[in-house]
Structure 1
Amino acid sequence: MGTGRGVEEAGPGLAAVAWRWPVKAFQRPPRVLVVDDDPLQRRLLLKALEPLGVEAVEARNGQEALDLLRDGLPHVVLTDLHMPFMDGLELTRHLKAQDPLLPVLLLTADGERELRLKGIAAGADDFLNRPVDLAELRLRVKGHLERRKLQERLEDLEHTLLALMRAVEAKDAYTAGHGERVAQYALWAAEELGAAERELEELRLGALLHDVGKIAIPDHILRGDYPLTEHEWRLIRQHPVKGDEILKPLRIHPQLRPYVRWHHERLDGSGYPDGLTEVPPLVQVLAAADLYDALTSGRTYRRPVPPEEALRTLEAEVQAGRLEREVARAFRSVLLRNRVLRAP
């Protein structure tokens, strides 16, 4: 519990490096929760964090730390392993259950390999050896705070983009929820095809935002409640290009671009806007999901078709050389598994 666990400062070179969190980065200073049953250790750790300009709060054990969460989650948690009432491992499990992305740093002594492995299993993000090098502590906490802030910015960006997408769908009551349904169908099929976790996340965002370019299309054209002229059809066919342009300033644009720009491309070159004959497999998955949902959803000019009929349309796309057979097969398989289709 505190005995024999010291805190040592590194040499003057590292210790002199002072870094403070930018004032505008958060609406208030980032919050770091320090959990340790030894009051001397807590005091030293809190003192070490002062140069970072954070709001440091302290708790004597895991249970007391959880009580503090009623005021909101911190940005980083620094916790000892050995504490009464609730130790660092159990605290880590509770924290990760509330927010899997919350950075948790465990303080361990040399030779505690088994406990480190248990910490990894509990979800710990980092470890600091005791006696703690305070310069290293500051650098580790600084790094986790920077990653946490980037994470929050990406989450804010995603919320903004999804709000934009819902604004697009709100232009036509018949397309409400289209993005979410397409994303679900596409993810099911992509998992069936063995896509990696990173690919699934990019596909999810790409599917949700695939029609974002339609925000540039006049409302009366999108509603399609009258026969469109050739000029109006050309405008509609520009929405993948418009979506590409909207997302271009974003850092994630290269990952989302294939889904937003190419979801109407076909393997025989008959698609738009670029007339591709080589379409990435996961873009084909999105294209199939988009077509399937369009067919099975009602429109002002037609009734929705049954799932089996929509799948026959996908099969016709395969026969015409516009879609890979494996994509259509994966679709049928996952729709059966998720009980969208009835087994014959």
Structure 2
Amino acid sequence: MAERRRTANRYYHGPPSDHFDGALFFNPGGKPPGRFSDLLRWQFSGKRPKWPAAFPSPHPPAKPHGRLDGGALRLTMVGHASLLIQTAGLNILTDPVWSERASPFAFAGPRRVNAPGIAFADLPPIDLVLVSHNHYDHLDLATLKRLKERHDPLVLTPLGNDAIVGRAVPGMRLSAHDWGDRIDIGAAAIHVEPTHHWSARGGRDRRMALWAGFVIETGGGNIYFAGDTGFHDGINYRLMGEKHGGFRLAILPIGAYEPRWFMAPQHQNPEEAVEGMKLCNAAHAAGCHWGTFHLTDEPVEEPAQKLAEALEAQSLPPERFRAMRPGEVWDVPPI
């Protein structure tokens, strides 16, 4: 039985570890995703608020150019978990999604309520793409194909996701890694780090590919991109603070958290994001994963409102943690 399960993994084959049982990945000491019956209970609860057909950003589309050297750090919000990081002479995209829908279908599934904050044609040369896991709102094969054709970047991703991308985008430069791996790129080092989440592209490949966050280590300060994560009692945030000694910037999800009975293990809420910023010792934080795709049960503006309330409750200045909107550009202060 164990051998049959092991060979059934269509994306990855490797030795067991503290987060891989020889067939499937898991969260050490954590919780697996909800069962199908839980999903149905949520979907038919009738409690999902209606989002507006359009939720335009107050910021005009950005038009970034070139690269930033030295200790400069510029962050531009594209939408959801897609951001452009410019620092250490590198242009880095996180979980790039330029498609109209976060879905396996062009005609159904969550649709954008705002345009990407950078038009695809206005992207500067892209050196590196970080893909945190394979859910459709984070791994968009259509966008990766466009990036391959126009920029030919290196894609860093956790174990197993390279099989998905490689089959769909022949010739894409891929580098797949386990938690704890370090990759040196130019003047920066990328660390692949644990998060509390899960993976699937359909109903038969749950947890066959790994999920992760990334730490970008540069001379101008460390940057933490948490991808998508549950709070998990702050375990991974404490680990990041202890291992990397703090961050100039943390990019943290603040949306897709309701209902808590179903979402809490996999998606943190704004209050938990603020606590995570403190635990990992981040001087500044950018809130993502909200306001673009209607995935869960909170109203479209609630994550930003709850973030402001959480910062006030902790007596933290609002400029330390921004709920980023598409097109917003932030020159992050040095530590």
Larger radius of gyration: 1
Which structure carries more relative contact order (alpha carbon 8 Å, separation 6+)?
A: 2
| TM-score, L = length of structure 2 | 0.29
Higher helix share: 1
Higher strand share: 2
